[in-house]
Amino acid sequence: MPTASPGPAGADEPVRPASHPLSGAAVLLALLAVSSSAPLIAFAAAPALALAFWRNILAAAVLGPFALLRRRAELRLLATAAGRRTAGYCVLAGLALAAHFATWMPSAQLTSVAAAAALVGTQPIWQGLIALGQGRRLPVAAWIGIVVAVLGAGWATGADFGTSGRAFAGDLLAVLGGLAAAVYTALGERARVTLSTTTYTTICYGVCAFALLVGCLLGGVRLTGFDGPTWLAILGLVVGAQLLGHSMFSYALRRISATTISVLILLEAPGAALIAWVWLGQLPRAAALPGLGLLLVGVAIVVLSGARPARRAVPPEAGPLPS
């Protein structure tokens, strides 16, 4: 998997262990899970912010007891001066995740599922720019792969930049959602250097849920009174996109760079479009098939561009991969 080249001396760059089969399996599972997100959001008869709140608060409620029982030492460390920076990364990541949900989830209800999934796929571009701003350099091949993959995602899903005000707003929100997702992933990459997946996701989802709750209360967004199918959709979002999706991506960040993760997430776009076709009757264009091939080529370029030995080994105190 590609990693950014070392920046100037002293740059705060995450140090990763060698790749592991579990990381690849986690990413595959996460991709399958998050592909259901946009169709479920489009199906649910509830405000997007309410859906975002419930998926995060319920996920935090599921993970919280495990963190309190099994990760007490990590939680205590975060309260000390030594853990203050990592705690800050977790809180900021939660706020960035809230911004992602507050922009992208409404986009899936304002524009087509295909367009929302494709435009949020601009995340790798923002991710690359963030890495550049951190003083790290991506291989030229990785940049080529990012551009090819993003173009392929837009083509494969038949993203329609609608002329109506509603569709235009949805398109714009999806792009902003991609930017927020890049910030969230970059911060998570920092936090996951020392934190287990359970601790990190519990804090992140909890902060995200609190921020979304404040937004819902200030905006007068309805949080209850939904019908049965909508609550089932919310549970589907919690189990699938949240616990098996976002959490597995966070797990993989321990060994796979944020830039690579953001490119692989592009595969969510054709997956979401396929589910929307079968379930919601949103037929994809036949002309999208070449775009799907282009997307896969772009992802392959990015992954293969980093298929070389890591420059630095994991320090002995880093220990095994947290779960």
Q: What is the identity of the amino acid at 172?
A: L
Q: Are 203 and 90 in contact (CB under 8 A)?
A: yes
- What H or E segment, with its residue span, contains residue 320? none
Structure tokens at 245: 């999706």
Q: Which residues contact 235 (CB under 8 A, 6 or more apart)?
A: 58
User: How far is 135 from 4, CA to CA, in rounded Å?
Assistant: 9
pLDDT at 274: 84
Q: How many CB atoms lie within 10 A of CB 321?
A: 16
State the Cα angle at 188 between 181 and 82, rounded to 5°: 145
Measured between alpha carbons, how far is 246 from 253 in angstroms, rounded to an integer?
11
Number of H helices, E strands in the chain: 15, 0
pLDDT average per 10 residues of sequence, the chain (323 residues):
38 50 80 89 93 96 94 92 93 97 91 81 86 85 88 69 71 92 93 91 96 97 96 95 87 81 80 84 70 80 62 34 30
